[in-house]
Structure 1
Amino acid sequence: MPLAQSTRATPARRARNDPAQYDDLAADWWRPDGVFAMLHWIAEARAALVPPATRDGAVLVDLGCGAGLMAPHLSGKGYRHVGVDVTSSALGQAAQHGVLAVRGDVAAVPLADGCADVVAAGEILEHVPDLAATVGEACRLLRPGGLLVIDTLAATALARLIAVTLAERLPGGPPPGIHDPALFVDRAALVRECARHGVDLRLRGIRPSVRDLLRWLRTRRGVVRMVQAPTTAVLFQAVGRRR
């Protein structure tokens, strides 16, 4: 759910949720004041849910890794960071930040069963046309006892209003068309699918700190903390371990 203006306009010909938009915006991934600024803030909050590795050779699989924005926040935690994405321009940047880049569809990941101690699916589930297949893949990759970490947008009228109707019209808001609200995630369906694959999820809502966000909008500098929200009806995190 990126917030800031880009140096490049997303071409009007792109359909909503077209992955080619990420090639159009490739220069913005690591700009702290770029259109992907909020993804940096969410990546830091996601990485905070990942505990230090408890064994040598531990693997974290980052589904929809983009340009590897989690990488700086996983440093020192002891994981081999494997990133999966369909966008080659993003994967090239992820590799430059120490991520082992794998080109692949998150609904058909070219990695072995049980290969991961942690699977992170950050800001990706609201972009996939087949939620069940993607969740199944995320759970398949986990070792028994492995941790699944998710953040995504809820399938609610409030999320559509905030993340699309309002945000796309605000100066510094996300690129028009980056989200298709028809793909926002049904929270109950997500919990059911994960449970079906042996992962019991706990959900909590998150949002940017208002004070930090106002400062950032004024200066385009500094970190915006993600804090707990009173509802999961817009942006939420989910965590669970595979039984």
Structure 2
Amino acid sequence: MARARNDPAQYDDLAGQWWHPRGPFAMLHWLAAARGALVPPPAREGAVLVDLGCGAGLLAPHVRGYRHIGVDLTASALAQAARHGVVAVRGDVSAVPLADGCADVVAAGEILEHVPDLPAVVGEACRLLRPGGLLVIDTIAATALGRFVAVTLAERVPGGAPPGIHDPALFVDREELVRECARHGVALRLRGIRPSVPGLVRWLARRGESVAMVPVPTTAVLFQGVGRRG
């Protein structure tokens, strides 16, 4: 069935593909590993990580030691996340059904480019953080280059985005993101990332199971953000 761009029902259509390392969500695995690398080991017993837009729990193998709570709207994805040790909470990331200051870490990976109200979601992510808590994000920049790479190109190559999964009108204004985080007491630092070219060549040749994400000097396509709540 043809669906509108960014229709959440697409995740039900693709429910059986989440954990296939060569399926349509392959790059989400690579990004989850890169996101997890930004999360330090828990500093206290019972530390909580809230994973906004957790999908099927792809971050779980990369963040050991936390009580990992995943928030998502898609029930079929949450069922898979729960099988990977994630405490599944069905909810909207713009109105998260969790208490203020409950999280040592909030991860928002590949979700901000899907939401119509960026300030609301950023406000929720920051609200969940304890003082000193860490916010980790990755998303797609609202630039002509970002639209070309993430939609025009990525929807046509192996390992790229499933066709129609993104609406480029929702890609993230970097200045707005940093400003909204600062408004809530989080000084966010950004850096660009992309797949390693040698790793991607090996993966395409079926000589590797994953591809490392590496830093780049520009944030104009894919970028990560890290900041602590003051």
Structures share a fold, TM > 0.5?
yes
Q: Which among 126, 130, 147 is matched to residue 139 of structure 1?
A: 126
Contact 1:61 1:119 in 2 (8 A): yes
Give the aligned partner of residue 36 of structure 2.
47
Q: Distance in 1 between matches of 2:60 and 2:156?
A: 31
SS at match of 1:132: helix
User: Is 2:123 the counterpart of 1:157?
Assistant: no
Contact preservation (8 Å) 2:158, 2:204: no
SS of residue matched to 2:205: helix
Q: Describe how 1:47-196 pairs up with structure 2 within 5 A.
A: 47-75=36-64, 78-171=65-158, 173-196=160-183
The one-letter code sitting in structure 2 at the alignment partner of 1:210 is V
- SS across alignment from 1:219: coil
| 3-state DSSP of counterpart to 2:97 | coil
- Segments of 5+ residues of structure 2 without an aligned counterpart are none
Query: Which residue of structure 2 aligns with residue 7 of structure 1?
Result: none
Shift of 1:174: 2.1
> What is the TM-score normalised by the length of structure 2?
0.98
Residue identity in the other structure for 1:225: A
Structure 2 residue aligned with 1:3? none
Q: How has the CA–CA distance of structure 1 residues 182 and 174 changed in structure 2, closer, same or farther, with 3 Å as cutoff?
A: same
Q: With structure 1 as the length reference, what TM-score do the two structures score?
A: 0.93
- What is the distance in 1 between the residues matched to 2:196 and 2:226? 21
Deviation at 1:74, TM superposition (A): 1.2
Structure 1: unaligned runs, 5 residues or longer: 1-10
**Structure 2 counterpart of 1:82, which letter?**
I
Aligned residues: 230
Contact 1:17 / 1:179 at 8 angstroms: preserved in 2? yes
Q: Percent identity?
A: 80
1:215 and 2:202 are equivalent in the alignment: yes
What root-mean-square deviation, in Å, do the aligned CA atoms of Structure 1 and Structure 2 show? 1.0
AA aligned opposite 2:55: G
Query: C-alpha distance in 1, partners of 2:42/2:59?
Result: 15
Structure 1 residue 145, shift from structure 2 partner: 0.3
Q: Distance in 1 between matches of 2:207 and 2:217?
A: 27
| Segments ≥4 residues shifted beyond 6 Å | none
Asked whether the equivalents of residues 33 and 221 of structure 1 are also in contact (C-alpha less than 8 Å), the reply is no
CA distance in 2, matches of 1:36, 1:173: 8
Amino acid at match of 1:117: D
Structure 1 equivalent of residue 7 of structure 2: 18
Aligned partner of 1:8 in structure 2 is: none
